[in-house]
Structure 1
C-alpha cells in the first residue's frame, strides 16, 4: 500500500485536524502565506513522490477570506 499525505489549507484547519485524527496521523507539513493583494502562497514541505495526496481546502473565496 502506498503512503498517504494529507495537507490542509487556510479554509478549515479544524476539518483537516479531524480527518487526520480519524486516520490516526498528523497533517503533513505545508507552509501557507497570504500576500497583501489577497493571493495565497503554498509550499509543500513533504515529498509526495509515489504517494496518494489529499488536500483539504475550500474553493470558495468566502472561506479563504473570513470577515
Structure 2
C-alpha cells in the first residue's frame, strides 16, 4: 500500500522539476527538457495499448529520460 504514495510523490517531483527547467534561461536546458518530456510522453502513450515498459531497453530509456527531467538544473 505504500507504493501508491511513493509513485505519486515521484510524479509530483518530476512535474515540479520540469516546470523549473522549462523556465531556465539556458536554451540548452529548455531544449533538453522538452525532448526528454516528449520521449516520456511517447513511451507513456505507446504503453497504453502495449506492454512497452516490460521490455528492459524501453524501461531503461524511460528511466534515463525521467532522470534527465528530475535531475538538478545546471
TM-score range, shorter chain: under 0.3
Instruction: Kindly indicate which of the two structures has a greater share of residues assigned to strand.
Output: 1
Greater RCO, CA 8 A, separation 6+: 1
Instruction: Kindly indicate which of the two structures has a greater share of residues assigned to helix.
Output: 2
